[in-house]
Structure 1
């Protein structure tokens, strides 16, 4: 015989696991130091400037 499972508890456990996965992803995405954010912003600005400098002038 199989084990009896309370469906409400199983649903809540599954929901908690999904929320934890989303929270972990957000921590990785937004949990950076100020130095890392500044470095990324500087790199983005340099890449944007390099791209803009190579753009052709049109009349």
Structure 2
């Protein structure tokens, strides 16, 4: 006797694969990794702190 195949499962697998492929393409085109974002945020924060440390206070 032949095995029964669920066509919905294959349709959903195909849709997931297509969505994953589009996501990978968008990530390569636009995205940055989490580590890259965190490094850039840390560099910006350090630059901000350095600038604030060199600021002169104007006291009347």
* Structure 2 length-normalised TM: 0.49
Which structure has the larger Rg? 2
* Structure 1 length-normalised TM: 0.49
